[in-house]
Amino acid sequence: MNLAILPTGDGSHTLYDAVLNETYHSRHGARHESEHVYLRHGLQYVLSGRRAVRVLEVGFGTGLNIWLTACEAIAHPSVFFHVETIEPAPLSWELVCQLNLFDPPEQGLAAQQLHAAPWNEAVRLLPNFRLWKHCAPVMDVPFPAAFFDVVYFDAFAPDKQPAMWTPAVLARMFAITAPGGVLVTYCAKGQVKRDLRACGFVVEALPGPPGKREMVRAVKVA
Ligand SMILES: C[S@@+](CC[C@H](N)C(=O)[O-])C[C@H]1O[C@@H](n2cnc3c(N)ncnc32)[C@H](O)[C@@H]1O
């Protein structure tokens, strides 16, 4: 087994992949990172005034970002959430259920329901929340052009998995982002920002979660 459970700075757990020597979330705070980068500066930034939102996550992993997104759907019953996520290496629920990430559990959809949902088909898990999990590498899924309002780009870091951060992958993310939509990521490396700009995004460097000076929000100007 290559994965170990690690506590992080805010008391929530993450997973450590010994082969990559990389964690699934920030060691400074897994929950805090997800809430700050993907929810506050991604989803909540685009949500205002909408009746529907289309979300894509790259890297489902533990399901934390999608669980937090389902909590937002419960908090906004008049907004329809279409949520897609990609993961070529699903984690077992037996492992994920040991993580204290989904707290309080009664706040949203049970995290187990997200993990138990079938792969490669869209399923309605709440009246206003549809989930479509793709079990495939990111470049193998034929997403429609100009479709997603927010992309959570949560790949392993560029020095650990450089194939996820190539100009070709980032250009694909630009192509499938709707005009006015955004891509958010914890990674604020100079090369990533330059490559996002070269694709056509307007790149904003925002204050990062605890332990990180910056994060990135890349806007596809309408
Ligand atoms: C930083 S972790 C994501 C953490 C996740 N969002 C969470 O909240 O637990 C990166 C994830 O990307 C997945 N991944 C690896 N290669 C991928 C690929 N080619 N396409 C999409 N996802 C990939 C990994 O298996 C891992 O689950």
* CATH architecture of the domain with range 29-219: 3-Layer(aba) Sandwich (3.40)
In tens digits, the chain (222 residues) has pLDDT values of 699 999 999 999 999 999 999 999 999 999 999 999 999 999 999 999 999 999 999 999 999 999 999 999 999 999 999 999 999 999 999 999 999 999 887 767 899 999 999 999 999 999 999 999 999 999 999 999 999 999 999 999 999 999 999 999 999 999 999 999 999 999 999 999 999 999 999 999 999 999 999 999 999 998
Contact 42/153 with Cβ under 8 angstroms? no
- Nearest CA to 71 among 86, 59, 83? 83
Q: What is the model's pTM?
A: 0.98
Take residue 210 and report the two structure tokens written for it: 């605890």
Q: Is 20 in the pocket of ligand 1 (CB under 6 A)?
A: no
Q: Is 184 in the pocket of ligand 1 (CB under 6 A)?
A: no
Taking the domains of the chain in order of start, what are their residue ranges?
A: 29-219
- Of 55, 161, 166, which is best to mutate to test ligand 1, by the most ligand atoms within 8 angstroms of its C-beta? 161
Q: How far apart are CA 64 and CA 53, in angstroms?
A: 19
Q: What are phi and psi of 40, to 5 degrees?
A: -65, -50
